[in-house]
């Protein structure tokens, strides 16, 4: 029998659970745990420069790898700094376990130094949370935390650990719990066969079908199955921002992504469809626009592992509660050997869609002329060429995020890493850091803007400490582009606090950390600069690319309109 202190149990559990990296920042209430981590070398702790970055780094890792990320912070401010990152993971259903130090049990409730009720603070933004009441409970609670985080609809789990629970003097028996059972938590493992049959019947009979798939296909590791199913049927597919790459974007059947800034053909196809096959998507407001005008002629099949996502904003005709992978596999076996009932209608449907495609071909944005300031879209297209469309691309939030999603072509899932639900500025750089550490041989690039980057740029120091060779493409328009765009459209171009006064000299800033910075002003400088940046996989390079501050993201759905109601440029609308 092995006797361990609570702190050693935590270190040992993380080893046994196969956790390689834990992101965190020490402080009083977490010091016993830090001491235990110091006395072992299997779990590597990465010291960030702000707890929010720890959560984003763990989140980035989780998105890229499909495994839970792990974070360790101290009580009070350490834990509250992590809140934004926890909410980010919650909104995008990302598996993450956040271990928070807490003041000793006898001090709880006394407004002790660095005391915050973090279980209370995070309650609406976690899948579940635990408070450790006895050191002997630690292995089981941690096992439950990782199990909950990673299964069903994944999400962040907070574990609050009062300091006395980790005291080195108190030792208890440690056994790694291989399995865990919770009577109140039994995530569904397959969909209802009758419902799936009903869905497939509708699918085979449809005349104007569209697949609409989301992040659930990515987190549910169902991309291969989805690709099979869609190819077998020959139907068009559009994905959400979170679902990008779950079906190869270079394939003809892929219409791109949909919603507020989605492609013209995606939104048009959705509006005119007679059947929508939604898998792992949640009909959120950035997709549906006005739900009362949403897809007026369509029947809706909705597959989701979380029953509360079904019929939340848009009523489903055929609801199927189940994990994307198993439901898709059942659908494939039912579709096999069955021809679609209306091949002529399908041909006609594709002709219509190809017509929409042709309408916008070559009109997506105006390229820069010789000697003119670069367009942000051009930069993303060049980035895609230079990295052969194979990089992990993280983004922050705003115009650059939309441009990255629109103009980088993703053929694999887990490659676009972006804060879709919460829309967290500052997410991209630490997320890239977390990915690069775990995938050192891959290209990892953060497409950002000078506004977002400044929210988390202290992590340059972390990258320096651990030699993290991420690339940063700063689409520098010296303004908060998306805010500015809305102000142009809705506030008669009154740019209230949407410009960035007193930007730092990014060149000097980056060099101060010992990294390479390249400033790009013109088109002919662009690709050589990108080639140079990606020449060495292990070197952090920052590209400060000056781009047009007047550019807008289009298409853009008209507020309160239907899917098809879009602004297509500054002068055109549907």
Partner 1 sequence: MRHIISILMENEPGALSRVVGLFSQRNFNIETLNVAPTEDPSLSRLTVTTVGDDRVIEQITKHLNKLVDVVKLVDLTEGNHIERELMLVKVKALGAARDEVKRTVDIFRAQVVDVTPSLYTVQITGDAGKLDAFLQAMAPVGILEVARTGVSGIARGDKVLSL
Using the contact rule CB under 8 A, the part of the chain among 19-27, 107-115, 273-281, 311-319 near partner 1 is 311-319
Site string for partner 1, 104-133 (x = CB under 8 A): ---------------xx--xx--xxx-x--
Residue 311 engages partner 1 in binding (rule: CB under 8 A): yes
Toward partner 1, which CB reaches closer, 313 or 338?
A: 313
Toward partner 1, which CB reaches closer, 308 or 536?
A: 308
Residues belonging to the chain = 574
Toward partner 1, which CB reaches closer, 306 or 525?
A: 306
Q: Per the structure block, which two tokens stand in for 145?
A: 């935390």
Rounded CA gap, 69 and 154, in Å? 11
3 state DSSP class of 158: strand
3 state DSSP class of 74: coil
Q: What does each C-alpha distance from 419 to 146, 214, 223, 383, 401 come to in angstroms?
A: 22, 14, 20, 20, 9
Residue 292 engages partner 1 in binding (rule: CB under 8 A): no
Toward partner 1, which CB reaches closer, 86 or 545?
A: 86
Rounded CA gap, 521 and 465, in Å? 30
Minimal distance, residue 317 CB to partner 1, in Å: 15
Residue 137 engages partner 1 in binding (rule: CB under 8 A): no
- Give the helix ranges, DSSP H, for 69-162: 77-81, 83-91, 118-122, 138-150
Minimal distance, residue 306 CB to partner 1, in Å: 7
Minimal distance, residue 307 CB to partner 1, in Å: 5
Number of CB atoms found within 10 A of residue 361's CB: 8
Is there a contact between 430 and 48 (Cβ–Cβ < 8 Å)?
Answer: yes
Minimal distance, residue 23 CB to partner 1, in Å: 25
List, as one string, the DSSP characters of 161-210.
Answer: EEGGGG-TT-EEE----S----TT-----S--HHHHHHHHHHHHH-SSEE
Tell me, by CB under 8 A, how many residues bind partner 1: 20
Q: Per the structure block, which two tokens stand in for 218?
A: 């990515």
Residue 317 engages partner 1 in binding (rule: CB under 8 A): no
Minimal distance, residue 129 CB to partner 1, in Å: 7
3 state DSSP class of 552: coil
Minimal distance, residue 124 CB to partner 1, in Å: 5
List the 128-131 sheet strands across, edge first: 44-47, 21-24, 69-73, 96-102, 156-162, 128-131
Rounded CA gap, 275 and 394, in Å? 33
Q: Of 284, 205, 262, 275, which Cα lies nearest the Cα of 236?
A: 275
Minimal distance, residue 184 CB to partner 1, in Å: 4
Give catalytic residue positions.
Answer: 51, 113-114, 163, 482
Q: Per the structure block, which two tokens stand in for 365?
A: 């944005």
Toward partner 1, which CB reaches closer, 182 or 341?
A: 182
Q: What does each C-alpha distance from 278 to 92, 214, 230, 563 come to in angstroms?
A: 17, 8, 12, 15
Q: Per the structure block, which two tokens stand in for 183?
A: 């009577």
Minimal distance, residue 80 CB to partner 1, in Å: 18
Toward partner 1, which CB reaches closer, 24 or 68?
A: 68
Considering only residues 414 to 443 of the shown chain, the ones binding partner 1 according to CB under 8 A are: none
Is there a contact between 276 and 298 (Cβ–Cβ < 8 Å)?
Answer: yes
Using the contact rule CB under 8 A, the part of the chain among 52-60, 63-71, 262-270, 300-308 near partner 1 is 300-308
Minimal distance, residue 133 CB to partner 1, in Å: 8
Q: Per the structure block, which two tokens stand in for 480?
A: 């908060």
Q: Per the structure block, which two tokens stand in for 405?
A: 């999603």
Using the contact rule CB under 8 A, the part of the chain among 181-189, 242-250, 422-430, 520-528 near partner 1 is 181-189
Residue 181 engages partner 1 in binding (rule: CB under 8 A): no
Toward partner 1, which CB reaches closer, 124 or 371?
A: 124
Looking up tokens 């050191």, which residue turns up?
Answer: 135
Report the DSSP pairing between strands 471-476 and 541-546. Answer: parallel
Residue 182 engages partner 1 in binding (rule: CB under 8 A): yes
Residue 307 engages partner 1 in binding (rule: CB under 8 A): yes
Looking up tokens 């973090």, which residue turns up?
Answer: 118
Q: Per the structure block, which two tokens stand in for 95?
A: 């598996």
3 state DSSP class of 525: helix
Q: Which of 35, 201, 228, 306 binds partner 1 (CB under 8 A)?
A: 306
Toward partner 1, which CB reaches closer, 290 or 569?
A: 290
Using the contact rule CB under 8 A, the part of the chain among 227-235, 304-312, 403-411, 441-449 near partner 1 is 304-312
Looking up tokens 């995606």, which residue turns up?
Answer: 266
Toward partner 1, which CB reaches closer, 128 or 207?
A: 128
Q: Which of 308, 461, 522, 536 binds partner 1 (CB under 8 A)?
A: 308
Minimal distance, residue 314 CB to partner 1, in Å: 11
Site string for partner 1, 238-257 (x = CB under 8 A): --------------------
Q: Which of 179, 181, 183, 388 binds partner 1 (CB under 8 A)?
A: 183
Q: Of 474, 471, 472, 493, which Cα lies nearest the Cα of 484?
A: 493
Q: Which of 171, 312, 385, 507 binds partner 1 (CB under 8 A)?
A: 312
Toward partner 1, which CB reaches closer, 315 or 363?
A: 315
Collect all residues with Cβ–Cβ distance below 8 Å to 251 and sequence separation of at least 6. Answer: none
Using the contact rule CB under 8 A, the part of the chain among 78-86, 307-315, 377-385, 429-437 near partner 1 is 307-315
Summarize as ranges the residues that interact with partner 1 (CB under 8 A): 119-120, 123-124, 127-129, 131, 148, 182-185, 306-308, 310-312, 315
């Amino acid at each position: 029998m092995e006797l361990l202190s609570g702190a050693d149990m935590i270190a040992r559990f993380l080893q046994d659970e196969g956790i390689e990296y834990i992101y965190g920042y020490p402080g009083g209430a977490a010091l016993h745990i830090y001491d235990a981590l110091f006395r072992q070398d299997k779990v590597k702790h990465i010291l960030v420069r702000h707890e929010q970055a720890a959560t984003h780094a763990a989140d980035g890792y989780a998105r890229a790898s499909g495994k839970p990320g792990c974070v360790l912070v101290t009580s009070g401010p350490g834990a509250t700094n992590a809140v934004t990152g926890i909410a980010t993971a919650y909104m995008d259903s990302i598996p993450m376990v956040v271990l928070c130090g807490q003041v000793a049990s006898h001090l709880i409730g006394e407004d002790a130094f660095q005391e915050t009720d973090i279980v209370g603070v995070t309650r609406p933004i976690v899948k579940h949370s635990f408070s450790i009441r006895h050191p002997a409970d630690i292995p089981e609670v941690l096992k439950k935390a990782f199990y909950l985080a990673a299964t069903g609809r994944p999400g962040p789990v907070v574990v609050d650990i009062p300091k006395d629970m980790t005291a080195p003097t108190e030792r208890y028996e440690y056994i790694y719990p291989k399995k865990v059972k919770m009577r109140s938590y039994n995530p569904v493992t397959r969909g209802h066969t009758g419902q799936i049959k009903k869905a497939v019947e509708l699918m085979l009979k449809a005349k104007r079908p569209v697949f609409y798939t989301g992040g659930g296909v990515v987190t549910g590791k169902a991309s291969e199955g989805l690709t099979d199913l869609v190819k077998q049927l020959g139907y068009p597919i559009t994905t959400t921002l979170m679902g990008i790459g779950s079906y190869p974007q270079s394939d003809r059947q892929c219409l791109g992504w949909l919603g507020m800034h989605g492609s013209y053909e995606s939104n048009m196809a959705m509006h005119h469809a007679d059947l929508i096959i939604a898998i792992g998507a949640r009909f959120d407001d950035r997709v549906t626009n006005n739900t009362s005008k949403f897809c007026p002629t369509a029947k809706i099949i909705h597959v989701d592992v979380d029953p509360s996502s079904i019929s939340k904003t848009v009523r489903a005709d055929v609801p199927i509660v189940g994990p994307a992978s198993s439901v898709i596999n059942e659908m494939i076996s039912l579709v096999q050997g069955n021809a679609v009932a209306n091949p002529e209608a399908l041909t006609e449907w594709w002709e219509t869609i190809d017509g929409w495609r042709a309408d916008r071909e070559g009109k997506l944005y105006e390229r820069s002329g010789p000697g003119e300031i670069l367009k942000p879209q051009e930069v993303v297209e060049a980035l895609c060429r230079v990295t052969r469309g194979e990089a992990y691309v993280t983004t922050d939030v705003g115009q650059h995020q939309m441009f990255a999603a629109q103009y980088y072509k993703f053929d694999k899932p887990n490659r676009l890493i972006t804060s879709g639900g919460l829309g967290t500025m500052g997410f991209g750089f630490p997320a890239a850091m977390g990915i690069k550490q775990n995938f050192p041989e891959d290209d990892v690039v953060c497409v950002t803007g000078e506004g977002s980057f400044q929210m988390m740029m202290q992590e340059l120091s972390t990258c320096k400490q651990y030699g993290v060779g991420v690339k940063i493409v700063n689409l520098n328009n010296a303004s908060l582009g998306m805010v500015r765009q809305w102000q142009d459209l809705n506030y008669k171009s009154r740019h209230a606090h949407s410009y960035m006064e007193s930007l730092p000299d990014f060149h000097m800033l980056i060099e101060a950390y010992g990294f390479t910075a390249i400033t790009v002003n013109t088109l002919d400088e662009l690709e050589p600069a990108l080639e140079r940046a990606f020449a060495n996989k292990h070197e952090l390079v920052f590209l400060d690319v000056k781009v047009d501050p007047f550019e807008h993201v289009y298409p853009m759905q008209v507020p309160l309109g239907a899917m098809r109601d879009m602004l297509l440029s500054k002068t055109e609308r549907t």
